[in-house]
Structure 1
Amino acid sequence: MDRLAPLQLFVAAADAGSFSAAARRLDVGAVQASATIARLERELGVRLFERSTRRLRLTDAGEQWLPHARQTLAAWDDGQAALRSAAGDAQPLQGRLRISLPSDLGRQHLWRWIEEFAAGEAGAGLQLELRISDRIADLVHDPVDFGVRYGEPPDSGLVALPLAPDNRRVLCASPAYVARHGQPQTPADLARHDCLRFVLGDSLHGRWRFTSAEGETVAIETAGHRIADDGGLVREWALAGLGLAYKSRLDVAGDLAAGRLVPLLPGWLGEPAPLHWMAVGRHRMTPALRRLAAELRRRCGQL
């Protein structure tokens, strides 16, 4: 393991272009990371990185060695996967589990479902680290191993297991808001309503799309007095009667069932918002983690 740690750090630094980012990814100190790479360079007798105040880049020797380092780590991961497979599907959830969760669904449901699953797996030694935020975590560079994400999986090396493939957004508001302002009858009517908008990353999700029963899709540019980068706050604003929200149905399922929010535009379908469990590489998807993903999918179906 001591021999693999410098390789892991080298590959992480090459991917991130930064010792500090690689250190965060592997949960080590930045000074320790730099010293480890320096020792590795002395051992190999070559310089692996060109360092400057602005950037970190591989030398020619580093470029040559990178695929061999990746191959060594991949072989180690494949060996671990083979051992886990030989141990059978009954191996419990264990070790450190670092997961990025969307804020609203994460706080309402996901953290509790994960805890209940871990308790049933007798995962007393499980180390659970949850990052609850609507900022999309970079599973390669950030210090997380898995992510639960809305939207279609990117075309990349990520492995995605569907948790709620048919989930969609739903336009909704509180009964108090509807009583004061009435219900929109068509998407075009949103221009006369206060819409609660959401920022994801650097982009404002203010263009809302709907599909009619005949298959016609329209996109409406919305406006309103409130914008948030947290889906949970948008839901709280809607519950307080401050405007219309365009939320994942999973996020507001309980509020709709209890009548705290009412669905609007019943003749129109909201945008697709599929939910996935994501990881970098199939070797991370142990039998226990596949069981966890299956349980989350079952819970989402119930919700």
Structure 2
Amino acid sequence: MKILQDFSVFIETARQGSITQAANILSVTPAAVSATIKRLEAQFDCALFIRSTRSIRLTAEGQLMLEKCQQAVKAIETGIESVKHDPNQITGHLRLAMPSDLGRNIILPLLDEFLDLHPKLILSTELCDNVVDLYTRPLDASIRYGTPPDSSMVALPISPKNDRIACASPDYIAKYGKPTHPSELVNHNCLNFITLVKYHTKWRFTKQGEKCEVIATGNRFANDGDVVLRWMLAGKGIGYKSRLDSQPDIDNGSLVPLFEDWQGDLIPLNLVVTDKRQLTPALHALRDFLRERLNP
């Protein structure tokens, strides 16, 4: 940082009262020190030193500038130190965005564990099913399904093989029957997720090269994935959701997976940042922690 170097030269010259001695301490030539002083005087439009053949001393303006430069150098050094990443310390304020259902029901309990492991860390969360603009929001990273919309973003995989899966509650199946082929979804009430710009009504499945795409119809739409999950659990219809969202309820018997010999859309879960320099030790540690816990 050029200005920091110039201020350091000025401060050392004032401390030594000699260009030559300051040059020796800074391991530069007296000519370089003299040039720096002249450059600062031109920038500040004032004389910083009164020079004689044997020594130099500060002018009144130079004395005032010395105090300001010392304060500035200390502030800059403190700022630089504060943003240095100690690989052995997981500290600071971590601001994350994540989908509603995944965040509320899966990620938040894991974040509690993560904070217990790293008690010096502060956490802020933003739950939203629309894609959050990391360039304009005060966020460090986003935990998101799918490929980032901006190819310049950095996406670290958390669950790269995650896919969508069709599920229904045992009560719904008992009342309306269990479809055995994706094409039979047209005869069932499908619970659809929507965003500000899109209705996610195309449910796609593949099996050994065979493809089946269904336009899912039903009487319920929501822009919140957690609402869709609650409708599924209440027996209101069939949902097509992330396996990560659905698996706990499949495991406890609250949901029944359908078409298990078919593959739904792949929607990998990633930790997304706008620039690799944002990947602090805290974010690296969080990504490793989530990857281990969500991919048993």
* TM-score normalised by structure 2 residue count: 0.70
Aligned counterpart, 1:112: 109
Can you list the C-alpha shifts for 1:241-287, whole angstroms capped at 9, x where unaligned?
A: 00000010100111000111000112211111110001111111012
Which one of the candidate residues 116, 140, 143 is aligned to 1:145?
Answer: 140
Q: What is the aligned counterpart of 1:288 among 282, 290, 295? A: 282
CA shift for structure 1 position 80: 7.2
- In the alignment, the residues of structure 1 paired with residue 217 and residue 134 of structure 2 have an alpha-carbon distance, to the nearest angstrom, of 33
Q: 1:81 to 1:266 in 2, by over 3 A?
A: farther
Between the aligned partners of 2:292 and 2:217, the Cα distance in structure 1 is: 36
Alignment of 1:46-195 (within 5 A): 83-84=84-85, 87=86, 89-92=87-90, 94-123=91-120, 126-195=121-190
Cα deviation, 1:91-133, whole Å, max 9, x if unaligned, reads: 22x222111011001001212212321221232xx33211011
Query: 1:239 corresponds to which residue?
Result: 233
Determine the C-alpha separation between the residues in 1 that align with 2:103 and 2:290. Answer: 12
For 2:193 and 2:88, locate their aligned partners in 1 and report how far apart those are by CA, in whole Å: 42
| SS of aligned partner of 2:267 | coil
Partner of 2:265: 271
Partner of 1:206: 201
The worse-fitting range, judged by mean Cα deviation, of 279-288 and 170-179 is: 279-288
- Corresponding position of 1:216: 210
Checking the alignment, whether the CA contact within 8 Å between 1:81 and 1:286 is kept in structure 2 is no
Change (3 A) 1:81 1:278: farther
SS of the equivalent of 2:240 reads: strand
Q: Which runs of 5+ in 2 are unaligned?
A: 4-76
**CA distance in 2 between partners of 1:170 and 1:120 (Å):** 33
CA distance in 2, matches of 1:266, 1:109: 23
The 8 Å contact of residues 94 and 282 in structure 2, kept in 1 or not, is answered as no
How far did 1:205 drift? 0.3
Q: Which segment is superposed worse, 178-187 or 224-233?
A: 178-187
Q: Distance in 2 between matches of 1:199 and 1:257?
A: 26
CA distance, structure 1, for counterparts of residue 110 and residue 183 of structure 2: 39
Q: Which runs of 5+ in 1 are unaligned?
A: 4-75
Aligned to 2:43: none
Q: Which residue of 2 aligns with 1:72?
A: none
Percent of pairs with identical residues: 41
Q: Contact 2:157–2:270 at 8 Å: present in 1 too?
A: yes
Partner SS, residue 260 of structure 1: coil
Question: Structure 1 pair 187/116, CA: closer, same or farther in 2 (3 Å)?
Answer: same
Number of aligned residue pairs: give it. Answer: 219
Q: Is the 8 A contact 2:205 2:212 kept in 1?
A: yes
Q: Is the 8 A contact 2:193 2:200 kept in 1?
A: yes
Kept after mapping to 2: 8 A contact 1:163/1:296: yes
Q: For the structure 1 residues 211 and 82, does the alpha-carbon distance in structure 2 shift closer, same or farther, using more than 3 Å as the test?
A: same
| Residues 208, 122 of structure 1: alpha-carbon distance in 2 compared, 3 angstrom cutoff | same
The Cα of 1:81 is off from its aligned counterpart by 10
Deviation at 1:180, TM superposition (A): 0.9
Structure 1 length normalisation: TM-score?
0.69
Q: Distance in 2 between matches of 1:194 and 1:272?
A: 23
- For 1:29-40, list aligned pairs within 5 A: none
Instruction: Name the CA shift for 1:138/1:155 in 2 (closer, same or farther; >3 Å).
Output: closer
1:256 aligns with 2:250: yes
> How far 1:143 sits from its partner (Å)?
2.3
Higher Cα radius of gyration: 2
Classify 1:295/1:98 alpha carbon distance in 2 versus 1 (closer, same or farther; 3 Å): same
Paired with 1:139 and 1:185, the residues of 2 have a C-alpha distance of 42
How far the C-alpha of 1:195 sits from its partner, in A, is: 0.1
